[in-house]
Amino acid sequence: MEVNLDGIFVQNSTYNYDNYEYEEECKPGRGGRFEVVFIPFLYSVTLLVGLLGNGLLLFLLFQKRQNLSVMDIFALNWGVADCLLLVTLPFWSAQAAQSDGWIFGTPLCKINGAVFNINFYCGIFLLACISLDRYLSIVHATQMYSRKKPWLIQASCLMVWLLSLLLSIPDFVFLEAGKGARPNGNTECLHNYPPASLSALDWRLASRRLYHVVGFLLPSAVLIFCSSFIMCQRGSQKQRVSVRLILAVIMVFFLCWMPYNIFLMADTFQDKSKAPDEDGLASGFCVQPRTSLENSLMVTSTLGCFHACLNPLLYFGLCQNIRKRLSDMLRGAVGSQEDSRNSLWELAL
């Protein structure tokens, strides 16, 4: 039997050359610069503006804590949820900027990931409570919440927080700090679900469906239903101001969170049947770069976090009581500074 050594040599040369090209193709692409530079920058701006705005809003609401309206109580709870999210942004910024990825371990990974979803759940559930109250008040002339029944407002806020915590249990269970399918195999904070073939339940699909249905679709249906009827009604001047504020808050919430939820749904129902080895992740040649869908999720989740600094701006711009208290506080601060300067001037004389 004749063996064609030339053919074997040519074939091996071609194989090695292909491997070399494959490694070259798996190097990080241009999208890495956006993640390393702009994501930390956007998070830093959101952190500074958000802490300033929410801190000021919470301070003003705490000052009038004996005379809070229904909207003020919901705004107070939402401000607390936004502040919790803002505190986690430095960790996500560090993950994007650090060459080693997530360096804070699994416990902080679980907490930060859960807080991200808790903020979203609290926001949309509080909005559902507010819009339902306005719908009953304006359309059916029935007061759902009132100062005569403070326990009902407090119970609703407590239920919002409890439901948000319950829906975030999958994050506390499955989030881990581990090697992700990214360039250089950096450690990331990601969900590590049991393989469906080894479990009686596809935990990834179950937790995602719970998020989509209970956390997004049902509350969104309530918001759309109530908002549609509210816009068709003609109420008093006070009611129109209240409706304008609520509709603005709902619109901004959807503009910030809708893109993320759309891309997350696409990620949930796309084909995940390939095992890591089939994608070449365990072959030793390279780690797969981010897909366009993963890049979209990264960008839109940043937009969702940016919402945490927009709510105070809406309240300061559209809520007359809050705006008046802010104006009085600023005038008082300016007046006290002038008094102190005058007293120093008199002492100098």
Choosing among 1.10.3720.10, 3.30.1490.20, 1.20.1070.10, 1.10.760.10, the CATH entry for 31-322 is 1.20.1070.10
Q: Are the beta carbons of 109 and 191 closer than 8 angstroms?
A: no
Tokens of 81: 């949820």
Question: Angle at the Cα of 68 (from 62 to 74), degrees rounded to 5?
Answer: 85
Q: What is the pLDDT of residues 192-219, one digit of tens each?
A: 888 766 665 688 888 999 999 999 999 9
The encoded tokens of residue 174 equal 């499955």
CB 286 within 8 A of CB 22: yes
**Cα dist from 164 to 121, 154, 243, 265, whole Å:** 5, 15, 26, 19
Residue 286, CA distances (Å) to 26, 154, 263 in order: 6, 53, 26
pLDDT in tens, 233-264: 776 666 777 788 888 889 999 999 999 999 99
- Mark residue 275 as left, alpha or beta (left: phi above 0; alpha: psi -120 to 50; beta: remaining): beta
Show the tokens assigned to 211: 């998020």
**Which positions of the chain have pLDDT values less than 70?**
1-34, 180-185, 196-201, 235-238, 271-290, 333-349
Handedness of CA 246, 248, 253, 254 (dihedral sign): positive
Residue 222 burial (C-beta neighbours within 10 Å; 0-12, 13-18, 19+): middle
How distant is the alpha carbon of residue 296 from its chain centre? 14
**289-318 per-residue burial string, b: 16 or more CB within 10 A, e: under 16:** bbeeebbbbbbbbbbbbbbbbbbbebbbeb
Do 39 and 300 touch, CB atoms closer than 8 A?
Answer: no
> Could you tell me the CA-to-CA distances from 101 to 93, 117, 179, 286, 330 in Å, in that order?
10, 21, 9, 17, 43
- H-only helix segments in the chain: 5-25, 31-33, 39-63, 70-97, 105-139, 150-167, 169-174, 203-210, 218-231, 237-269, 292-306, 311-318, 320-348
Q: What is the pLDDT of residue 337?
A: 58
Provide the 8-state DSSP code for 254.
H
Q: Is the distance from CB of 253 to CB of 245 less than 8 angstroms? A: no
pTM: 0.80
Task: Find out whether 92 and 35 touch, Cβ atoms under 8 Å.
Answer: no
Residue with tokens 């068709």: 232
* CA distance linking residue 27 with residue 285, whole number of Å: 11
Domain spans in the chain, listed from the N-terminal domain onward: 31-322
In whole angstroms, what separates CA 81 from the centre of its chain?
11
Strand partners, 179: 187
Q: What is the pLDDT of residue 185?
A: 64
Q: What is the pLDDT of residue 178?
A: 83
**Rounded-to-integer distance, Cα 321 and Cα 260, Å:** 33
| Among 318, 312, 168, CA closest to 245 | 318
Partners of 191 in the β-ladder: 175
Q: What is the pLDDT of residue 114?
A: 95
Q: What pLDDT score does 197 carry?
A: 64
Alpha carbon 272 to its chain's center: 24
